[in-house]
Structure 1
Amino acid sequence: MKNINKKVILALSTIVLLFSSCADDLDTKPKVELSLENLLIKDPNAIQGLLSKMYGTFALSGPSGPDSSDISGPNAGETAFLRGIINLQDFTADGMKNRWGDDGLDQLTTASNWDPNNKFFRYLYDRVYYIVPQTTNIILALETVDVPNEAQVTSELRFIRALAYYYMIDCFGKGVLVNESNFGSTVPLTESSRTELFTYVEQELLAIEGDMPATNGYGRANKAVVRMLLAKLYLNAEVYTGTARWNDALSYTSKVITEGNYTLAQNFVSNFSGDNNTSTEIIFPLIADAVVSQSYGNTTYLVNGSTSTETMNINDFGTTDAWTGHRATKAWYSLFGNLATSTDDRAKLFWTTGHTYEMTDYKEWSNGYPAVKFRNKNFTGTSISTSFSGTDFPMFRLADAYLMYAECVKRGASGGSDSQALDYVNQIRTRAHTSTITSGELTLNFILDERARELNLEGHRRTDLIRFNKFTGGSYLWPWKGNTVNGTSIPDTYKLFPIPATALQSNLNLTQNPGY
C-alpha cells in the first residue's frame, strides 16, 4: 500500500464541511456549519482540507465514501468526474467500447442518438458547475481571511477552476462564466462563447503561472502542471477558437519538458500500477486509495470495468470485484500489428484468451480484447487485491508532452526542431521495446497512431481525433461508429456534446448546441 501520508486527500477528514450540489443553482454557496470566513478565522489550517476537497472532486464522487455524490444522480458512482471523462472521451471514440448499455451508455459507445437528456452528459456538466462555484467561494473567502501560504493556495484554486472550465470548453463549447465578479448574482448569468471561455482560462493560467511553485505536494498542481494545461489549451486552440496557436503550444510544452524535472519511467506499465505514486513521469495524478479515498469513478472504473471472472483471473490485476464491461477494439490493438509477435510492451496489455479479434457484437463480453493497462497491483513488491483501486490516474504525464512537442513541430511551429521531435518519439518507443522510426516516418498520421498506442484509455482520444479531423464524417471509420458494426459517418455536430436539458431549464440564457 502507498504511503497515505503523502496524499493530500486525507486532510479533508479534518474539516467539518458539507458541500451542497450546485447543479441547479450556480450561485448557491456551500452549506457549512460555519461560514467559510468564520471557519478559517477559527482554524486557518482548515484551508488545506478545503483545498484537498477541491482536488478530490476530480477523482471522487462525494465526501462521504463511494456511495455519496456532490451532484445529483441515481447512482453516485456514475457521477464521478474521471468516470465521465472516460465515458465521453474514450467510449465515444475508436479504441474502447462498453457493453452494459444502461440508460445512455449505448449512445456514447456507438456515437449515435445523442440527446440533451442523456445523464452522462449531465454528470460531466454538473460536475464542472459544482467545482467552479465552490472554488470561487473559497477564493472570495481568502480575500478577507489570512491563512498560511495564501497566495499559493489561491493560485491552486484558480488552477482547479481553470481545469474544470477546460473540459467545459472541450466537451460542450460554451457555458456561463462564474468568477469573483459575479458570484452570488441574483439574476441568471449570460452565456459565454467558446472563445470567451478559452480567453478566460488562458488569462487565469498565465496569471498564476509565476506564483506556482516548481514542486508541490503529491497530487497538487505546480508550475509544470499549469504549463501543461496551457499547452493543451493551445494545442486545441484552432478547434476551440478557429485560430491555431501551435507556437504557443510548443513553447509551453517545451517548458514542461525542459524545466519540469520529469523523466520517462523505465517501464511503461509502472505508470498504471498500484505504486505509480513513485513514477518519475506523472506530472499530475488524480489520487486513489483502496481504503481512504474509495470511489466507483476513479481507476476502480478502469480496473474493475476491464476485468471479468468469465475469461480472466482477476487477482492477476489486483481486484476482487470484476464488472465485465470494457473492451478495446481492433482500432486500438491493430496498431501494434500481430500482438502475439510484437515486442512492444504496450501490445501485451490486452487480454486475448477467450476473446475474439473482431467486435461483431459490442454487448458480448468475448468480443474485442479487454485492455489491462490499468491494474490495482504494485509494479514492485507485494500487494493485496481489493475491491476498490488504489492506483492513481495519470491525468498529465511526460510521454504526452513528448508527443505534443512532435505534433507541434510537424504542424509548423517555430522554436522546435525535427531532430528533437524524432528523439522524443523514439524515446517513447524505445521505452516500450519497439523499433525506432526515421525522420521520414514521423508524420502527423504516425503521431496520431502513436498517441493511441501510448495514451488510449487516459481520456484524450476524442479530443485527438477531433483535432486531426477524424472524429466525425466518414473518412475514418471504427467498429460501431454510428451504431454499425464496421462504422459509418457521424455528423459534424458530434464534435460537441449537447447542453443538458436540465441546464437549459435552469438558465434560459443558455442555448443548445447546433444539431440537437
Structure 2
Amino acid sequence: MKIIKVLSLFTLLSILFSCTDDLNTEPKVELSLEQLLAQDPNAITGILSKLYGSYALSGPNGPGSSDISDDPGESPFLRGIINLQDFTADGMKNRWGDDGLDQLTTTSNWDENNKFFRYLYNRIYYTIPQCNNLLVVLQNVDVENKEQIIAEVRFLRALAYYYLIDCFGKGVLVTEAEAGVTLPLPESSRVDLFNFVESELIDVVNNLPTSNTYGRANKYAGAMLLAKLYMNGKVYTGTDRYTDAYPYINMIVSEGGYSLEPNYGALFSGDNNSSSEIILPLIADAVTSQSYGNTTYIICGSMNSATMDTSLFGNPGGNDAWAGHRATKAWYGLYETNDERGELFWTSGHTYEMNDYKEWTNGYPSIKFRNTNYYAASGAATVFSNTDFPLFRLADAYLMYAECFLRGGGGSSSLALDYVNDVRDRSHADLITAGDLTLDFILDERGRELNLEGHRRSDLIRFGKFTGGTYLWPWKGNSVNGAAISNTYNLFPIPLTALQANPNLTQNPGY
C-alpha cells in the first residue's frame, strides 16, 4: 500500500503495456479499467490503494502532484481536516494567516471564497466519483474477495460523505447509479445524506472482514464510522441516536481485539504501525508516500529552529521547520501536572498566553506527533513523515462508550468508568470516581486525549459549546479573550465554485 501508485481512476484508467529495447519504451496497448481488471484481476490491489491514498496523499506522482486542480501542498485531505477541525476550535492556532487561514484560526468572517473550504469540498467530491467508477466496473468483472473489495470501496465513499455531512451539511448525493450523468444533480439535505451513509455502513459492517491488511478497513473501522455518525445524529438530523451508537461501540471494545498502546507517545511516532490500538490509519512514508499533507503537515508545521531543537523530533529544521502551529491555553490548560500527555508541548521560549496568534512564541507548539521512532532506532531526520495518522483508535471508542452511557444510549456505569480510567492511567493521570464522570468531564478528557486528531470542532458542536458565548477560547470570534459567534458557524459555507458548478446547490444559512 505504501509503494503501489496507480494513475487516475476517472472513467478510464490508462495502463500502458510496452515493448522495451535498449533505447526506448513505446506504448502498445491502452486499456480501460474494466479491461484491465478482466485481464489482470490482481490489479485491484493497486487500484484500491489509490482510493485509500486519496485520504493520505495529494496525487499519484509525489508531493508536487495533485489529483484535483487545487494546490498539491495545501489541499490534501488530512491537512484540510486539521485546518477545519482543530484550528477553528479551542486547541490549536496557526500563525501564517495566508489567504483565508486567519478566518479559520479566529473562527470569524467565514465566506464562500475561502480556499480551505474549497480544498476539502473538492477532495470529497474527488473521492466519491472515484469510488463510484470502481463500483460500476466491479459489477462486470471477477476479482478475488470481490464482496470484501466492494465493501471497502463503499466504506471509503461513506467516509467521504461523513465529512461532507459534518462540515458542510448538504451536497449532491451521487452513487454508481449516477456514474456518467452530466446534468446537475439535485441538492440532498443533511438528513438525506445521513440516511444514505447509515444504510451503506450497516451493510458494510456485515461484509467487511474481521481483520484486514494494515491500512485497510475491517468491520471495526466500519463500526467506528457508523458509531460516530450515530453519536452526532442529534446534530445532523435533530434526532437522538445514542441507543443506535451503543451496539457498534460495544462491538469495537468487546470484540475487536484491540488494546491500548502502553505508551501514549508511541501512538504518534514513526513506528506506530505496530500499535495494537490503531483501528484505521492513514499511512505515511518518508520515501514512498510523500505528501505535504498527512502527518508531515502536523510535524513540520509545529517545528521552528528559532526556539526548538527540531532534530529531537526527526525534523531537519531550517526551512523544513515551518513555524506554524501552537496550542492555546484552552488545550494546554486541561492537563493536571502528573498527566504525561501534558508534557507533549514545547514550552521553552514560549508564553502560556497567546496575545498575538501570529507571533510564534505565543502559545506552546505541540510535540505530540513526531517523526522519530518510539521503540526502534530512528534514522536521519526527514522532511516527510513516517508517522501514520490514527484516524480511528481504541481510546476514542472508550471515551465514546462513556459518553454514550452518560447520554442514556446504553452500556454499563462500571465499564464506562473503567474505560475512562484506563485511558487516564495510561498517561499516569489521576484516576476518577463515578461522581467525577460527567459530560463536561468527557469533553475535557477528549481534548486531553484526542486533540490535533481531527475531532475537536465536531466534539464542541455536539456538546453545544462551539458557537454562542457559553464557552470562550483565545481568538474565538477574532478576540484575544474570545467572543461569542453565531450558530451559522456550526457549518462551513458551500464553496462558491461548487455553487457555480451546480445551480441546484444553495448556500448554507447565514453566508
TM-score, normalised on structure 1?
0.94
1:472-502 Cα shifts (integer Å, max 9, x gaps): 0001000000101000011101000000000
Instruction: Indicate yes or no: 2:255 matched with 1:259.
Output: yes
In structure 2, what is the Cα distance between the partners aligned to 1:34 and 1:168? 33
1:84-103 Cα shifts (integer Å, max 9, x gaps): 00000000000000000011
Identity over the aligned pairs, expressed in percent? 66
Instruction: Indicate yes or no: 2:68 matched with 1:71.
Output: yes
Q: Tell me the amino acid that sits aligned with residue 343 of structure 1.
A: N
1:9 paired residue number: 2
Deviation at 1:31, TM superposition (A): 5.3
In structure 1, what is the Cα distance between the partners aligned to 2:186 and 2:119? 21
* SS class of match (2:326): strand
Deviation at 1:19, TM superposition (A): 4.2
* SS class of match (1:18): coil
Instruction: Indicate yes or no: 2:126 matched with 1:130.
Output: yes
Q: How does 1:314-329 map to 2 (within 5 A)?
A: 314-320=310-316, 321-329=320-328
Deviation at 1:382, TM superposition (A): 1.2
Aligned length: 492
In structure 1, what is the Cα distance between the partners aligned to 2:113 and 2:362? 29
In structure 1, what is the Cα distance between the partners aligned to 2:178 and 2:8? 23
In structure 2, what is the Cα distance between the partners aligned to 1:440 and 1:47? 52
1:18 paired residue number: 8
TM-score, normalised on structure 2?
0.95
Deviation at 1:34, TM superposition (A): 2.2
RMSD value, Cα: 0.9
In structure 2, what is the Cα distance between the partners aligned to 1:36 and 1:204? 24
Deviation at 1:186, TM superposition (A): 2.7
CA contact (8 A) 1:47 1:147 kept: yes
Deviation at 1:458, TM superposition (A): 0.1
* SS class of match (2:240): coil
CA contact (8 A) 2:268 2:389 kept: yes
Deviation at 1:182, TM superposition (A): 1.4
CA contact (8 A) 2:476 2:484 kept: yes
Q: Tell me the amino acid that sits aligned with residue 63 of structure 2.
A: P
In structure 2, what is the Cα distance between the partners aligned to 1:155 and 1:30? 22
Q: Tell me the amino acid that sits aligned with residue 238 of structure 1.
A: K
Q: How does 1:245-284 map to 2 (within 5 A)?
A: 245-284=241-280
The match for 2:358 among 348, 358, 363 is: 363
1:339-362 Cα shifts (integer Å, max 9, x gaps): xxx111101001000000000000
Instruction: Indicate yes or no: 2:293 matched with 1:300.
Output: no
Sort the Cα spacing of 1:249 and 1:188 in 2 relative to 1 into closer, same or farther, 3 A: same
Deviation at 1:239, TM superposition (A): 0.1
In structure 2, what is the Cα distance between the partners aligned to 1:10 and 1:207? 30
1:347-388 Cα shifts (integer Å, max 9, x gaps): 100100000000000000000000100000000121121111
CA contact (8 A) 1:294 1:388 kept: yes
* SS class of match (1:239): helix
* SS class of match (1:493): helix
Instruction: Indicate yes or no: 2:407 matched with 1:417.
Output: no
Instruction: Indicate yes or no: 2:211 matched with 1:215.
Output: yes
2:77 paired residue number: 81
Instruction: Indicate yes or no: 2:510 matched with 1:515.
Output: yes
Which ranges of structure 1 fall in alignment gaps of 5 or more residues?
1-7, 21-28
Deviation at 1:301, TM superposition (A): 0.3
Q: Tell me the amino acid that sits aligned with residue 510 of structure 1.
A: L
Q: Tell me the amino acid that sits aligned with residue 10 of structure 1.
A: I
In structure 1, what is the Cα distance between the partners aligned to 2:134 and 2:65? 22
Once the two structures are overlaid, the 10-residue window that deviates more, 294-303 or 29-38, is 29-38
* SS class of match (1:9): coil
In structure 1, what is the Cα distance between the partners aligned to 2:226 and 2:339? 31
In structure 1, what is the Cα distance between the partners aligned to 2:454 and 2:62? 24
CA contact (8 A) 1:9 1:53 kept: no
2:225 paired residue number: 229
In structure 1, what is the Cα distance between the partners aligned to 2:384 and 2:439? 39
In structure 2, what is the Cα distance between the partners aligned to 1:69 and 1:422? 45
CA contact (8 A) 2:2 2:285 kept: no
* SS class of match (1:59): coil
Q: Tell me the amino acid that sits aligned with residue 39 of structure 2.
A: K
2:440 paired residue number: 445
Instruction: Indicate yes or no: 2:193 matched with 1:204.
Output: no
Instruction: Indicate yes or no: 2:159 matched with 1:152.
Output: no
Q: Tell me the amino acid that sits aligned with residue 228 of structure 1.
A: M
In structure 2, what is the Cα distance between the partners aligned to 1:240 and 1:260? 27
Q: Tell me the amino acid that sits aligned with residue 464 of structure 1.
A: D
In structure 2, what is the Cα distance between the partners aligned to 1:195 and 1:400? 25
1:430-472 Cα shifts (integer Å, max 9, x gaps): 0001110010000000000000000000000000000000000
Once the two structures are overlaid, the 10-residue window that deviates more, 183-192 or 101-110, is 183-192
Instruction: Indicate yes or no: 2:340 matched with 1:350.
Output: no
